[in-house]
Each structure stands twice: as structure tokens, then as C-alpha cells.
């Protein structure tokens, strides 16, 4: 994925950007397709891995493997690593809302939830992102964008239809994922609105580096050191997360979040929990229901409403 030229994408201070239709290029489509595939298949992969390995340790090892992949991408694309001193506070704040809270809350909750339904809870993010934009950043949504967000919210409720009784038995885990989605929604808005001349891939690298340091510290502080090598399947899960999730997906997501409107970028990834449910049913034997099919239809309508350009008179 070629890194876009550094550009200030935020509006002037105090101004609220208009909810204009996103310009969806062929590059966006390919980046989004691979992102959906890799992130969607990762939910049952993570679930299987944390059944064998302590969750924070698994996430820390995945981050440690992903950081060299991002560094290699910066070298090959000749993107500078250097960040001006004035930008570090912004990158640190973006790391908290876009990565740190998400990864800590999600990986601690995942052992207590099914993989598909954890994905659904996590991808309530577009609804939270739209609410952050409307009530905090005074973002005015078009009618189509509002309908798209509403359709995504209804789809999430349908996908959770058979899980409310199960979630009641793990309220802390479900709440942790919802908190992660809430904070990630705020991060999506901030990522688009934060003015910076640092290249997107460099931002991705340093946010990943900050998250890696924190996750390694948490794993060492709260989990015992592994006494034996993990199984081949768990090693494969670590490599998958290192190369495809942290080496590609996060950089791809930050590219989408900085080049599309917050509503468009957040809604565009709504197929990921659908793929998470289907792959979880195929791999882990999690049962599907008719509500899942109805939700898939609503999600497709939601993505079309937000991403497809409006007709011109």
C-alpha cells in the first residue's frame, strides 16, 4: 500500500467540517477489501489463541512481531521515521484512543465471549463515532448518512438477538468491549481532525510502538511468563496478527480514517463482524440464525448509503 503524501486534513480551529460525500477511489476499495478479509478472519483466530495463551501475552507478542513489519514498510516506501517534537503529544493521545484502550479491553474480554459476538460488540464503533461527531464535534450528517448509521445500529441489534442472555452472564466482558468501541469511535473522529504533517504510515508505526511498550509492561506485570513454547496453531495466530493485522490492517485503517470522512471510514468496516460470525461458525462451530442474514442485508445497505456517491441533477 503506497503511503499518501503528508497533508493537513483537519479543518481550521473551531470549525466543524461539513459531512460531504467521500471520494471513494479504486485504492480505497482494494485497501478496504483486504482489511475486511484479514480483520474478519482474525476473530476466531484470536479466540482460539487466547484459549491457550494468556491474553495480554498473546497481544504483546503479536505487537512485537508487527512492529518490524511496519518498519520495513517505512523503509521500502522511503517514509521518514522522524516526528517533530511538537507532534509527539498528538501521536500519544491518538495512540490511547485508537489503539491502546481497544487492544487492552478487547483482548481481556475475548476469553469470556464468543468470537463472532465479540466482533459485533466491537463494531458498534460506527454508531459511537457518529454520535461523537454529532454531539461533540457538531458534525451535520446528511439524510443518507443518518439512515446508514441507523441501519448499522439495527444490524448490530439483530446480530446480538440470541446473545443477550449469554452476555448477561459476562457483563464485565461485554461492557469492556463496548467501552473499547466507544473510545475507538472517538479516536476515529480525532484521527481525521488532528492537524499533522506526519505521514500516515509513520503515525501508524509510532502508535503501534507506544502500544507495544504498554502491552509488554502489562503482560509482564499481570501474567506469568510462559514455561513452554505455544502450539503450532497459537504460533500461527501470533504470526498472522503480527504480519497481517499489525503489519497491514492497522496501517490500512489509519489510511482510510484520514482520507475518508469519519462516518464513511467507520461504516465501511461493518462487514468485518459479519465475516467474524461466518468464520466463527465455520471454524469454532458457533451457530447462525436468520437474524444474521437480515443483519448482513442491513449492513450492505448501510455501507452503500454512506459510501456510494449521490446522484447529481
pLDDT of residue 5: 40
Asked if pLDDT for residue 168 goes beyond 70, the answer is no
Q: Is residue 29 part of a domain?
A: no
Are 186 and 97 in contact, with CB atoms under 8 Å apart? yes
Residue, of 97 and 274, whose pLDDT is higher? 97
Mark out the alpha helices in 110-199 (DSSP H runs). 115-122, 125-135, 143-159, 164-168, 171-193
60-73 mean pLDDT: 96
pLDDT tens digits for 137-166? 888 877 877 887 887 778 777 766 665 666
Asked if pLDDT for residue 202 goes beyond 70, the answer is yes
Backbone region of residue 96 per phi and psi (left: phi > 0; alpha: psi in -120 to 50; beta: other values): alpha
Residue, of 178 and 116, whose pLDDT is higher? 178
Residue, of 155 and 64, whose pLDDT is higher? 64
Among 41-50, 63-72, 73-82, 128-137, the minimum mean pLDDT is found in 128-137
Asked if pLDDT for residue 2 goes beyond 60, the answer is no
pLDDT of residue 83: 93
Among 111-125, 178-192, 227-241, the minimum mean pLDDT is found in 111-125
DSSP string, 178-228: HHHHHHHHHHHHHHHH----S-HHHHHHHHHHHHHHHHHHHHHHHSPPPSS
Asked if pLDDT for residue 134 goes beyond 50, the answer is yes
pLDDT of residue 17: 41
C-alpha distances out from residue 126 to 2, 55, 189, Å: 26, 26, 10
Which has the closest alpha carbon to 258: 187, 195, 192, 161? 192
Q: Is residue 2 part of a domain?
A: no
pLDDT of residue 310: 57
Q: Give SS3 for 112.
A: helix
Q: Give SS3 for 142.
A: coil
Asked if pLDDT for residue 62 goes beyond 80, the answer is yes
Asked if pLDDT for residue 11 goes beyond 60, the answer is no
pLDDT of residue 21: 47
pLDDT of residue 298: 74
Residue, of 94 and 168, whose pLDDT is higher? 94
Q: Is residue 255 part of a domain?
A: yes
Question: How many domains does one find in the chain?
Answer: 1
> How much is the mean pLDDT over the chain?
82
Asked if pLDDT for residue 14 goes beyond 70, the answer is no
Q: Which domain holds residue 101?
A: 34-307
Q: Is residue 313 part of a domain?
A: no
CA distance 118 to 43: 8
pLDDT of residue 307: 65
pLDDT of residue 4: 43
Q: What is the DSSP letter of 22?
A: P
Asked if pLDDT for residue 250 goes beyond 80, the answer is yes
Q: Is residue 3 part of a domain?
A: no
Amino acid at each position: 500500500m503506497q503511503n499518501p503524501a503528508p497533508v493537513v486534513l483537519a479543518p481550521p480551529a473551531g470549525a466543524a467540517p461539513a459531512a460531504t460525500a467521500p471520494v471513494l477511489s479504486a485504492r480505497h476499495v482494494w485497501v478496504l477489501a483486504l482489511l475486511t478479509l484479514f480483520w474478519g478472519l482474525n476473530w476466531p483466530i484470536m479466540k482460539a489463541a487466547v484459549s491457550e495463551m494468556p491474553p495480554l501475552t498473546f497481544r504483546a507478542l503479536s505487537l512485537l512481531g508487527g512492529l518490524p513489519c511496519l518498519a520495513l514498510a517505512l523503509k521500502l516506501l522511503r517514509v521518514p521515521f522522524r516526528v517533530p517534537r511538537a507532534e509527539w503529544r498528538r501521536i500519544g493521545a491518538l495512540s490511547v484512543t485508537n489503539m491502546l484502550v481497544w487492544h487492552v479491553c478487547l483482548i481481556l474480554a475475548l476469553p469470556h465471549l464468543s468470537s463472532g459476538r465479540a466482533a459485533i460488540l466491537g463494531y458498534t464503533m460506527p454508531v459511537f463515532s457518529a454520535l461523537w461527531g454529532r454531539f461533540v464535534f457538531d458534525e451535520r450528517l446528511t439524510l443518507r448518512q443518518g439512515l446508514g448509521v441507523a441501519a448499522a445500529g439495527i444490524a448490530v441489534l439483530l446480530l446480538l438477538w440470541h446473545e443477550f442472555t449469554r452476555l448477561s452472564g459476562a457483563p464485565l466482558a461485554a461492557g469492556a468491549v463496548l467501552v473499547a468501541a466507544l473510545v475507538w469511535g472517538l479516536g476515529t473522529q480525532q484521527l481525521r481532525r488532528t492537524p499533522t504533517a506526519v505521514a500516515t504510515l509513520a503515525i501508524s508505526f509510532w502508535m503501534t510502538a507506544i502500544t507495544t511498550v504498554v502491552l509488554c509492561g502489562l503482560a509482564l506485570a499481570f501474567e506469568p511468563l510462559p514455561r513452554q513454547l505455544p502450539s503450532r496453531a497459537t504460533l500461527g495466530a501470533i504470526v498472522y496478527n503480527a504480519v497481517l493485522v499489525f503489519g497491514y490492517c492497522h496501517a490500512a485503517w489509519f489510511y482510510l480514517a484520514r482520507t475518508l470522512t469519519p462516518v464513511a471510514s467507520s461504516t465501511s468496516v461493518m462487514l468485518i463482524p459479519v465475516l467474524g460470525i461466518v468464520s466463527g461458525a465455520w471454524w469454532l462451530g458457533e451457530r447462525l440464525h436468520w437474524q444474521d442474514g437480515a443483519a448482513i442485508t442491513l449492513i450492505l445497505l448501510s455501507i452503500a448509503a454512506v459510501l456510494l456517491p449521490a446522484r447529481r441533477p
